[in-house]
Amino acid sequence: MASSSLFQSPPLSLKPQNPASHHAPTKPQFATTIKCVSTSTPPPSSSSDHPHHNIRDEARRHNTTHSHHFSARYVPFNAHPSSAAAAESYSLDEIVYRSNSGGLLDVQHDMAALKNYDGKYWRDLFDSRVGKTTWPYGSGVWSKKEWVLPEIDSDDIVSAFEGNSNLFWAERYGKQILAMNDLWVKHCGISHTGSFKDLGMTVLVSQVNRLRKMNRPVVGVGCASTGDTSAALSAYCAAAGIPSIVFLPANRISLAQLVQPIANGAFVLSIDTDFDGCMQLIREVTAELPIYLANSLNSLRLEGQKTAAIEILQQFDWEVPDWVIVPGGNLGNIYAFYKGFHMCKELGLVDRIPRLVCAQAANANPLYLHYKSGWDQEFKPVKANTTFASAIQIGDPVSIDRAVYALKKSNGIVEEATEQELMDAMAQADSTGMFICPHTGVALAALIKLRNQGIIGTNDRTVVVSTAHGLKFTQSKIDYHSNDIKDLACKYANPPVQVKADFGSVMDVLKKYYYHYRLDSRHFTSLGTEMEQKQSIQGFKGHARLPNFAIPKRYDLHLKLDLSSACAFSGVVEIHVSIVEETKFLILNALELDVHEVLFTSSHGQLYRPCDVVLDGDDESLVLVFDQALGVGEGVLGIEFSAVLNAHLKGTYMDGGEKKNMAVTQFEPVDARRCFPCWDEPALKATFKIAVDVPPELTALSNMPIINEKLDANVKTVYFEESPIMSTYLVAVVVGVFDYIEDTTSDGVLVRAYCPVGKSDKGEFALNVAVKTLDLFSKYFSTPYPLPKLDMVAVPEFSGGAMENYGLITYRENELLYDPLHSTTARKQTMAIVVAHEVAHQWFGNLVTMEWWSDLWLNEGFATWVSYMATDILFPEWKIWAQFLQQTTGGLVKDALEQSHPIQVEIDHARSILEVFDDISYKKGSAVIRMLQGYLGDDILQKSLSSYIKRFSGKNAKTEDLWSVLSEESGVKVSEMMDGWTKEKGYPVISVKAKDHILEFEQTQFLSSGSHGDGKWIVPITFSLGSYERRRNFLLETKSREVNISDLVDSSDNDLKDKEKYDEQLWVKVNIEQSGFYRVNYEDKLAARLRKAIEHNSLEATDKFGILDDAYALCETCEQSLSSLLSLMDAYRKEEEYIVVTKLIDVCYNVINISSEAIPDLANELKKFFISLLLFPAEKLGWESVPGENHFGALLRAEILQALVTFGHDKAQKDALDRFQTLLNDRNTPLLSADTRGAAYIAVMRNASSSNREGFESLLNFYREANTVQEKERILRFLASSPDPDTVLEVLNFFLSEEVRDQDIIYGLFGISSECRETAWRWLKENWDLILTKYGAGMLLTHFVKDIVTPLCSNEKADEVEEFFASRAHPAISMTLEQSIAQVRIKARWVEHMRQEQSLEGQVRELAGKK
């Protein structure tokens, strides 16, 4: 749990608060002083020659005196010898939890007395008590009584359940899953609650039993826990007849978790508060009632828990294991194990201690975060995220110092586990005969990671501590094996199989089961060698990445395409591999392929045929099992295969529009495996020699130039040069009929644009951009383009915008073909950026490739940033860096969600990779590079990137590699600054206040939900004061900082008599040119000055953009009122700058969409106000362009006219409809240019309804008759903009028809009117199965979720969406769905906030009437 008031309190004690009592209590009825006296008298033996039949009587008979004089006391934990705390101590009979300074206490034994006996003595003594029934030594804890509570009378001991001697060899799990020979599991307390809390509670309750017999005022023992603490506590209290009290916040009550305390008669209090409130009440109650606390701050219970460590050593015959892995829900556990091991070492029982691993659940992992920072950052308690598994606890802040101390002293490690990982680990362990719980699953998941990293070795003796095993975890297992856990894949679920009651059905399922069982178990039944122990099919399942005992070097791939009605292909691949570790398995990727023949040939000519070939659809893998091991060395793996051409625009698919005379590959991210068996991971690079059989009339293209063609009857075989080393996702083949144009770079690289027949001239613009950017990037990166040619191909059906295949870039037709008559100005600009982006990938992505998809941003973020840089160089008049702010804003919007993800993101499943091709990887990624560029400078960044490209050319890299190069070149510790931006999700909002000549800056995490995050960043702050000539830069490295600006204030201005005018002129603009990835929240007086500066046109366009963008975001999150936002928007009435006006239009659209739900009576008034804001630039631009008009005139005209028509401006709508009618009569009319047609189409659809279909049907026919992709795209964008539900429903069904290409669905979905958002949602539900079948679980599917779910704006609809998709979860949409639902709830909150604004109506009506 998060840090509570109790955990932060001063020393809490039931003893008199007399300072002297810390050493010699003045009231002996409350405390007894124990002296620490060394002695040579041996401790008593546990054995008895004449054991009594009644062991309790026997205990009493031996209970009269203590002969050993061992003792223990409370002392401040880890107190420095020279500090005052070193002299502070308390008797164990005192009830005290904290030291004078408020720190934790520790139980310190009289080590001098214990050291009078050597290690052999203690070993023999402890061993002599094993298995004895003589009271109380039969149990694990009390067999070490001298090291636990040396002075307690045996008759006071409450000992019933805490035996901890169950250590077993996890042979099958270790060998089969982890390739380990020496893995052990230590169960603690398995006879009762299943936790080694049992070990602690027997000590704690025994001490309370002693205190009560001494007439100390202890009315009972209490704790706040739904878990093992309350279960163990209640059991021992029941055994001793001591009242037990469990304090719980009402929302944490769960009978499943409380079954043991309730059954044991505990008094369970359900308190109507949260956990912190509960802790506060406990503090207040225990100040009045003498309830002994059993919470984490009670150090006594660790004395019992430490005996588990001693038992481990004892059960290994006092040999020390290499590793002990402990679940870290309660951090005191870590110290308890360390203490047990350390005492054994100090007293000579062993000569070393094992390395400890603390395993934490990722939803509550503060110690892991602390460890990952190198222990440098201050420990921060965290609030646990919602979890289904009750076993997963927060790492309590009470024990942090003890845990860190133990880990440092043992050279320990902290690892984390996601819920997916821990539940899968639990299920795998259970499948090998164990029975464990989610708590232990955390430890096993940590072990898996450490094995995969090579930290824990094959023969390392490793003990996993199983700390919980109770019935309360049954439900989590039921849910897992029922596949009933939201957003969890449940990879190893084993639900009952429903079978028809007939012999054939039963035999079918049994045969299938036996087949897989035989494969999984065959190579475990005779584990004669280490290699066999390390590898088995079961051990390979469920991993996102392939094992690394075979590495591909070269692929010889021959594909045979059948583009007839069969729509199929076949092929042979010979993969030259390097076997780096002896193996009976080869595991590579394959999906939706039929494998026919497989043969492995060693470098010595020896042939190996697999005894089993397993195609695993879940893991998308091909497992080849050999009877004889493949030795280390080189070999060739030959595979014959076939498949059907894919229908979902991925892998190898049929294309060519209506003619279907084309085949295209699209392999990114993980679909090369759909074309041929391969090691389909970016780090497993190889060279490729490709040949393709095609009909003779078709052109075949691949990554490399053609070296030969052979014609045999009706088949043409095309052979390509061997490629340089590259990743599988960059392999490409395109077959079809084309025209092309070509040009050559200054370095002699041949560049071609392949276009549909008769349209090669439309490729000229893209070809020109490609040639220029190839030259530009060769110079910028100081590395020439590494291939002899670059082809660009226009593809009719394509799920993305373009794909950077090495030497063969594929594009949607409208991203490559520019038609001056039919392409808009915006499309031309986008085309230049897209071409530059894909060409940039030839270096950033292809030549240097990210090591794994978790660093996708190294490809996409950098390609995005550098594409804007190139476009700015080629077309400086476009001022493209100002428009880059649209990228920044997209990243800011997505990253303000609690459901966002870090730029460097973990990837757990191949199908989830597509979801990180999102605004975080592209837009936030490019924005933080832009921010870093501003901080380091252009020259340093260019030099660093050149060095990076050269160093990792032909290799793979991680983010840390880039930071390292940047640090070397710049002298700046780049990783320290940037880790927060790439490894953590989110970003800050900088609050700015002014007081005299001091500016106060404070950062907090910005979240659109209104929640308060705890992120902190190193923020490059820039600001100007009243003029861009007065500016300051600094790094905000702490939460807040004050900056004196006296030197920036012009002294001459101090003579101004008009102080109000003086204040107005001293506006403060933070984040100059919006170069930083953060938002700014100005106090009211600073915001007012900025409004005046906007009205006086004193600011640059980028800053006016940023002020409005930040204000809108703060309004959406309810940090500012809509009234204040509207007042700010009013200051933009005379605005003409494209980037600013388009931002203003975006804000208008968003406010209208929300207000129609929140304040529908004011919607028309708002539209009037928004129209008035746009009339000034609209009247200047008109409908037709003028000679000499700049780039932005055409861009802005399109945006403004579309907005005016959407908002219902009468004249704009009438003009639009008239011009559309003219277009119908004359397709080449100059009255509607490519830029203005969109406004006319919107006007048509805004006036369309079931009773007025003429315009709609005319536009639909216009779509059908259009012969350019540009026109079809444009119509689709606006076809669903009607406010009429029936019309929109008809349009949505049209989108699913064969008349609309699959790839074009994204244009139509984006344009659905706000009035019909619920109509679209109902349609999506009714057609979901059809949509999933038609489009597959790929990139297109995410648009259905994003574009239809996100516009909803009520919590009721969010609940409805969650309910609908609860049974339709899929990795390809899970993140998109979660984020979309979050955005719906954010808008629902804004709707409610908007309804509460009392003065809003008057203000809207006033603004609407303003001229």
User: To the nearest 10°, the Cα dihedral for 1207, 1211, 1216, 1221?
Assistant: 140
For the chain, the straight-line distance linking the first and the last C-alpha, in angstroms and rounded, comes to: 57
Relative orientation angle of helices 938-951 and 925-936, to the nearest 10 degrees: 120
Evaluated on CA atoms 805, 806, 808, 812, the torsion sign reads positive
- In b/e form, how buried is each residue of 175-208, taking b as 16+ CB within 10 angstroms? bbbbbbbbbbbbbbbbebbbbbbbbbbbbbbbbb
Asked whether 136 and 142 are in contact (CB, 8 A), the reply is: yes
Phi, psi of 518 (to 5 degrees): -60, -40
Helix extents (H) in 535-625: 537-540
Choose the catalytic residue: 311, 838, 851, 1271. Answer: 838
CA 979/CA 1037 separation, integer angstroms: 13
Report which DSSP code applies to 174.
I
In angstroms, what is the C-alpha Rg of the chain?
Answer: 36
Q: What angle do CA 475, 478, 483 make, to 5 degrees?
A: 125
Closest CA to 1072 of 1036, 1048, 1104: 1104
- Tokens in use for 834? 């897209």
The token pair at 1280 is: 């669903």
List of residues 6+ apart from 867 with CB closer than 8 A: 833, 834, 836, 837, 840
Q: Would you say 841 is a known binding-site residue?
A: yes
As a whole number of angstroms, the distance between CA 431 and CA 371 comes to 32
Q: Is 273 left (phi over 0), alpha (psi -120 to 50) or beta?
A: beta
Residue type, 1073: E
SS3 557: strand
Q: Do residues 1190 and 825 lie in contact, with contact meaning Cβ atoms separated by under 8 Å?
A: no
The contacts of residue 1303 (CB under 8 Å, 6+ apart) are 649, 797, 798, 799, 812, 1340
Q: What are the phi and psi torsion angles at 807 (to 5°)? A: 75, 0
- Separation between Cα atoms, residue 144 and residue 136, nearest integer Å: 10
Q: Write out the DSSP string of 851-892.
A: SSGGGTHHHHHHHHHHHHHHHHHH-GGG-HHHHTHHHHHHHH
Cα 148-152-157 angle, rounded to 5 deg: 85
SS (H, E, C) 68-81: CCCCEEEEECCCCC
Give percent helix, percent strand, percent coil of the chain, each to the nearest 5: 45, 20, 40
Q: Is 58 annotated as a binding residue?
A: no
Is there a contact between 981 and 903 (Cβ–Cβ < 8 Å)?
yes
Question: Active site includes 742?
Answer: no
Count the Cβ atoms, other than its own, within 10 Å of residue 1184. 12
CB atoms within 10 A of CB 517: 11
Going by C-beta distance under 8 Å and a sequence separation of 6 or more, which residues neighbour residue 791?
A: 701, 751, 752, 754, 807, 808, 809
Q: Is 370 annotated as a binding residue?
A: no
793-804: string of b/e by CB count within 10 Å (b at 16+)? Answer: bbbbbbbbbbbb
CA 653 to chain centre: 31
Distance, CA of 174 to CA of 184 (rounded, Å): 8
Residues with catalytic roles:
838
Annotation: binding site for Zn(2+): 837, 841, 860
